[in-house]
A and B are shown apart, each in its own frame.
Chain A
Amino acid sequence: MNDFSRAITYLNDPFNWSRPNGITDLALEHIGISAVAVLAAMVVALPIGVALGTARRGAGLVVVLSNVSRAIPTLALLTLFAVSPIGFGNRATTIALAVFAIPPILTNTFVGFRGVDAEVREAARGMGMSRAQVLGRVELPLALPLVTTGIRTAAVQVVATAGLAALVGGGGLGRLINLGFGQQDYGVMIAGAILVAGLALLTELLLATVSWAVTPGPRRLPFLQVRTSPRAGGVPEPTASGVPL
């Protein structure tokens, strides 16, 4: 394929990487936006998820939030923030991405903490553990696999979606796709697509390894688990990831 060989040529030129606004700059911008968005979402979603999950309240709210977020196109939110008084640019992109990262983290944290066996908690309290000790030494380790799944899902989604920001004047690696498309230079476009896809796959691999390393107990790589479907009654599925993007 001619366009593909041109993409490889483009990627092999060191100048395309090192020049100002080259691949390195765009990739760092992409990673920076994504990291800030995921961290912001974690700051908001983790405490709420833990609070609701340990209290076993608000399941309806979490389900509605995760379902509604799936119906809202990311492109729409990116565009709406860009034309709001925030102004277009990286700030609007980051806020839009953070909003989309909240539902997966919140849902998984909620399900993880709610799923801790009541008898285990009772036993821990019976052993004389304080409320904080139960939370940190009993509930957290048991909920950790789902919490890390939520963060991984959100991070991959954010890295993937950050590319869309280029369609509405944002930065990051998506700019190469948009630029190549606009100039009918499909080599550059494919190079951008390979880079965005590679970065998303890399994020998935990296975070899967991290979650595998920090999870206590019997270890399973998270790739091969079947997603359990929501049963009648509306239990949120553990990997309510919103949209594949």
Chain B
Amino acid sequence: MTSLATRPLLDAVSDPAVGLLAVDEAPNPWFDPSYVTDNWDSILTYTGEHVRLTVLAVVIGAAVALPLALLARRSRYLSAPVLGLSTVVYTIPSLALFALLVPFTGLSSNTVLIGLVAYSLVILVRNFLAGLQGVPADVREAARGMGLSAAQTFWRVDLPLALPAFMAGLRIATVSTVALTTVGVLVGHGGLGQLITGGFAANFYRAEIVTGAVGCVLLALLADVLLAGAERVLTPWARAVRT
């Protein structure tokens, strides 16, 4: 009964004389396996949207971030504006960014996608640039001395040496994007976030909220494990050194 006192909305009707609302007498468990089995189809649909938005956002973000990072490496005068701009984008709240995009892209999932690309882009540019700047200058000079072209230098020298930093950036970007996709509920395309706000709207139905929240965390962990595995496969030399 103490919980009633903290619910201002229910105060008016929680007077003992009036009696209790049916809402408060009905059990509202934190997790309910029958909810998951009964709503498996819609959970799968939302998960699919979540995965699609995340993968697209990270892939597009990486495709844009790599040229930007390569450009920014060339000089301080190019890296300063790129980093400054990315700080500004990073500071803009996602809810505000999605709201600002609505007049242009409407209630489609593109609104969410564009916002997610912007954030993953910011994370990726910084990590890509840090990785590229971590390539020793004398190694690159040696590569040029051996007659490698710019493209060859990138593929055969820069990329292998910067790969751990690249993968770290991809992991951070992916995990944050999975969490951030939930904010897309503003326009109705929040993936598993739909379950969170849906349960809130349905009389604070805890089982639905927890299912959405746990689903998001599991998705993020799964993505992280997959990318960590990919990193292991892609950098066999790192394993050889460590063992």
Contact = CB atoms under 8 A, between A and B. Distances in A.
Contact of B96 (A83, A89, A197): A197
Interface string B82-95: 01100110111111
B135 interface: no
B243 interface: no
Given A4-B103, A223-B84, A245-B183, A71 B224 contact: yes
B91 A245 contact: no
Contacts of A232: 164, 238, 242
A163 B95 contact: yes
B213 A177 contact: no
B213 A189 contact: no
Nearest to A162: B93
A226 B133 contact: yes
A203 to B, nearest CB: 8
Interface in B188-225: 190, 193, 196-197, 199-200, 204, 206, 209-210, 212-213, 216-217, 220-221, 224
Interface in B50-72: none
Interface residues of B, number: 66
A13 B2 CA distance: 43
Given A83-B204, A156-B91, A75 B183 contact: yes
A228 B6 contact: no
Interface stretch (B37-45, B151-159, B174-182): B174-182
Mostly, the A contact residues are helix
A27 interface: no
B143 interface: no
A72 B238 CA distance: 30
Given A87-B6, A244-B176, A193 B224 contact: no
Nearest to B76: A224
Given A76-B212, A193-B96, A196-B95, A244 B204 contact: no
Given A226-B129, A244-B94, A72 B217 contact: yes
B176 A229 contact: no
B148 interface: no
Given A85-B2, A167-B186, A201-B92, 20 more contacts: A1-B103, A73-B196, A76-B216, A79-B200, A80-B209, A80-B213, A87-B8, A164-B93, A177-B96, A190-B100, A193-B95, A193-B100, A194-B100, A196-B95, A229-B131, A229-B165, A229-B169, A230-B168, A243-B179, A244-B119
19 contacts: A73-B182, A75-B185, A75-B190, A75-B193, A76-B193, A76-B209, A79-B197, A91-B6, A181-B186, A186-B103, A193-B99, A196-B96, A201-B92, A223-B84, A227-B130, A244-B94, A245-B93, A245-B95, A245-B183
